[in-house]
Structure 1
Amino acid sequence: MAESIEFVPAEYSHKTQPESTAQEMLRCGPADIDRLADAGLPFEVRSGVRHFDVNDLYNLGMYSGRGNTQPELAFRMLFRFAGRPVDDLLREKTWDFKVTLDCVACEGEAPWRFAAPDAARFGGRVAGGQAPQASTGSAHYQAKVTTLGARTPLLSAQLRRLTRDYLDSGYRWQMIPVAMQADYELVHALGATSCIAASLLLAERFRSAGYRAEAKRGWFCGVLGGALDLPHACVEVVDDDGALKTVDIAKAQLAARLSPDTGDFQELCLGSIYNKVIPSTACGNASFGQHECGSRQPVQVRADIRSMQGS
């Protein structure tokens, strides 16, 4: 199992999960953890207890083939919608959107910068959503965000070819720290990929082909009951018809891994929009939030996004 993934390099790794968590996530015992460590699973020993990077544990579980690990069960639940008719993804949907920004090493009162939802870019709307005021420690943002889907498939044969080339390249999707995802050349050199890294690379290839393209961040919503901030990104590109299209390359790749019955959803990811994604103003390798207090520690952004009743 350990040979099947690329572990997070030391410069990006944060080994915060104790061995008890590793056993729970992977549904295994101490002897299994010993074998994984012997096979190369990185760890640090603190107070006599081995600690692991949560991304490494997630990837081990996801590709274990056991069928009962926490990552495998979560993945199947996360993408169960992808095998259903896509019409439900095209209708208007409203979300109760709440975000908490935490400056964990705050150095005093200062303004906040938050990459707010930008649903209007694709026909949606935002109600409320006052920008956070200057403060210390933490800040909050709340709005009602309405999204909708639309079938706007890529028309350009060149854009479709570049997208298909990427999907056929054999990169393996893995859970990767956001800071490492921005280092997309390193990620792909390891044979791995992720939504941010894939979007940054594909946007670069689109631009090299003469198209206006940019990787943009947002939120993937309506999964696991909400209260889950997924580091989502896609490519926004101006197609041959002059319209702005989205290529959700990672979701197409993950859906293909889940089941061959997800073909309609995979096609929707290649140019169209769907109502489970809330776009933001952040570019692909930027943080959702910043606090201008002078702290060098990144702001922690926690999103709680829930479907509103009746939508």
Structure 2
Amino acid sequence: MPAEYSSKTQSETAAQEILRCDPVDIDTLVGAGLPFEYRSGVRYFDLNDLYNLGMYSGRSNTQPELAFRMLFRFASRPVERLLSEQTWDFRVLLECPECDGSAPWRFEAPDIDRFGGRLADVTEPRPSARTAEYTATVTTTGARSPLVAPALRQLTQDYLEAGYRWQMIPPAMQADYELVHRLGATSCIAASLFLAERFRAAGYRAEAKRGWFCGVLGGALDLPHACVEVEDEDGVYKTVDIAKAQLAARLSQDTRDFQELCIGSVYNKAIPSTAPGDAPLAHHDCGSALPVHVRADIQVKR
């Protein structure tokens, strides 16, 4: 991670657990340039650096490799499962660090009516200090609606073939999509902002939108998510989930149907929000300059 976006919070012991390695391996990585900070005689590392190292290590036993293989098991199954209705218990905890007192919250809620979904049992965050909660029952569904405009399909394919490597990147850095791409990397937010710009330059209405990716390790893994919403030449708004198509191709050889679904269609594991791709999901009007932490817990409703 570039220094301005790096947060070295993981101890050397944690790094060994994430990478499934020993102290000698950590010394080798540090010698090769892995950034760290000394605090009280202990080396600390950036979590994103560690996850990206693990994911591309080829060792097959690191935490990132195991987690992402489990995450994308669904992508090699029949995609019809992703087109049916699915209901979720949706709970988001909002935390304002260094809060300056009780104040209203602004939360970019699920925005699913346009794609055949619906909300029920909504509880909005009330004015409070430090923490608040949003809950709802969210029903999603899927629909096949592949891109039909040749220009849109070509721009999408050009991006997929450009050689950018998907990486875990802090959301604030993802919004700086020019920096991300200069580094040869990509992520869901950076890719969506970049592709939306290309679609608009080609004459189409397009916007990157943030949201949530559901059903990930039983709700234990909270991944930032974004996609592009674009008005196709048939007058229908389509979603291009470019990063999920990239990740599926990277992690499994048997995901072509899912990759195609990502190029225009909607599926029941994605919940769009009202937030633009480069905007935060929540804000607290208390006056604190620090961003609100947004932690989602999204479970299948049984």
Give the aligned residue type for 2:287: G
Q: Is the 8 A contact 1:227 1:306 kept in 2?
A: no
**Rounded Cα–Cα distance in structure 1 between residues aligned with 2:96 and 2:137:** 24
Give the aligned residue type for 1:296: A
Residue 280 of structure 2 corresponds to 287
1:296 paired to 2:293: no
1:262 to 255, 268, 285: 255
Residue 30 of structure 2 corresponds to 37
2:244 to 238, 241, 251: 251
**Matched residue count:** 302
Q: Is the 8 A contact 2:12 2:43 kept in 1?
A: yes
Matches within 5 A, 1:22-171: 22-171=15-164
Q: Is the 8 A contact 1:235 1:246 kept in 2?
A: yes
**Rounded Cα–Cα distance in structure 1 between residues aligned with 2:153 and 2:175:** 24
Q: Is the 8 A contact 2:216 2:222 kept in 1?
A: no
Q: Cα RMSD between the aligned structures? A: 0.7
1:308 paired to 2:301: yes
Matches within 5 A, 1:182-261: 182-261=175-254
Partner SS, residue 260 of structure 1: coil
Runs of 5+ unmatched residues, structure 2: none
Deviation of the 1:230 alpha carbon: 1.2
Deviations 1:167-207 (A, max 9, x none): 00000000001100000000000000000000000000000
**Rounded Cα–Cα distance in structure 2 between residues aligned with 1:87 and 1:291:** 40
**Rounded Cα–Cα distance in structure 2 between residues aligned with 1:207 and 1:284:** 15
Partner SS, residue 132 of structure 1: coil
Instruction: With the length of structure 1 as denominator, give the TM-score of the two structures.
Output: 0.96
Give the aligned residue type for 1:287: P
Q: Is the 8 A contact 1:236 1:247 kept in 2?
A: yes
Runs of 5+ unmatched residues, structure 1: 1-7
Identical-residue share of aligned pairs (%) = 74
Residue 181 of structure 1 corresponds to 174
Q: Is the 8 A contact 1:92 1:148 kept in 2?
A: yes
**Rounded Cα–Cα distance in structure 1 between residues aligned with 2:236 and 2:132:** 36
Q: Which runs of 4+ in 1 moved over 4 A?
A: none
Q: Is the 8 A contact 1:25 1:71 kept in 2?
A: yes
Q: Is the 8 A contact 1:227 1:303 kept in 2?
A: no
Give the aligned residue type for 1:149: G
Deviation of the 1:226 alpha carbon: 1.2
Deviation of the 1:130 alpha carbon: 3.1
**Rounded Cα–Cα distance in structure 2 between residues aligned with 1:156 and 1:274:** 20
Deviation of the 1:223 alpha carbon: 1.4
Deviation of the 1:285 alpha carbon: 1.0
Deviation of the 1:261 alpha carbon: 1.2
Q: Is the 8 A contact 1:215 1:233 kept in 2?
A: yes
Give the aligned residue type for 1:22: A
Deviation of the 1:133 alpha carbon: 1.4
Deviations 1:214-250 (A, max 9, x none): 0000100011011432100000000001111000000
Deviation of the 1:259 alpha carbon: 2.2
